[in-house]
Structure 1
Amino acid sequence: MEEISVITAVHHPLRRRIVDHLLLHETAQVGGLARALGAQVGSISHHLRMLQRAEVVEQVEDPAGDRRTSWWRLIRRSLSWSSSDFADSPADAYLAREAQRLNVRHQLERLQQWNRVSPSTDVEAFATDTLAWATPEELLDLSRRLSETLDEWRASIDRTDGQQRMPVFFFAHGFPTEV
């Protein structure tokens, strides 16, 4: 079960963008993050410290050995939680639901952004969904399997092969429903 402090740390809008940037670029310098995200260096530093306290990021050595710059990388590549994980604490359950709401909003905003630009590109995207019967344990198993598949797929990409790549965003939700 995720700690509520980790969930709430990641789901601040700017911190989520920092996590996404580090997920793609592996490491980044504070000034580079500020330029890429259109934010002030001081703000980026503050949010990195918040993510560091939640053990989501860590400071790393400058690849060039310059000790005057601050470089960061992700420690955690994914989070998984349900508001029901926090049934013993109504306040934490509320925060978990709010984080879920912000997460879905973030995902839908990315999808809407893609739909606005997709007519002007020849890049194909995909959508997938299904409906099945499952116990809560089977639904959790599906979540684990999808995470493992995504981790394997991400690790299989050779970013040194000279091919041009673009950032790709994937999201899926699995939940009980009515027919």
Structure 2
Amino acid sequence: MKLSEGVEAAIHCATLLAQLEEGRTMPASALAEYHGVSPSYLLKHLKAMASAGILESVSGPHGGYRLARRPEAITLLDVLFAIEGRQPAFRCAEIRQRGPGALEPETYVKPCGINVAMLKAEQAYRAVLRETTLVSIISGYQAEADPRAIAFGCAFVERHQRPQT
């Protein structure tokens, strides 16, 4: 399974926005700069997260994005669903019922074993994402990251956050 790069960008943006002071915002252009991605590409994902209630979009001269909920209330599964949708990654097309060896449709009363296994695996990885919050990601990063990277990130947020609206 391969998730889009948008999922990675969205999670990184959400963790950066979690560092903003209360009531402040950060423009999409700064988020794109920090992560080295195209602003137009990132904007699509920021809008999706705002539609999902993860981010709040604030308009005006001091506008930008901020978290719509506390970071401990946002899971990686929330972000995944906002970017990729809720459909399972694996979608069984029942190809066992095609080709020269296919039998009558009523022969296939039991679910495809491949589909069952893939959906079971999806449930397992979604369970991990459901219990992983932004706070746990941030805490792990702060405990293990190079202090220079943390200092850079803090300074970047300080420079680019916009005043309260």
Q: TM-score, normalised by structure 2?
A: 0.44
Name which one, 1 or 2, has greater alpha-carbon Rg: 2
User: Which has more helix, going by share of residues?
Assistant: 2
Q: TM-score, normalised by structure 1?
A: 0.41
Higher relative contact order, structure no. (Cα contacts within 8 Å, ≥ 6 residues apart): 2
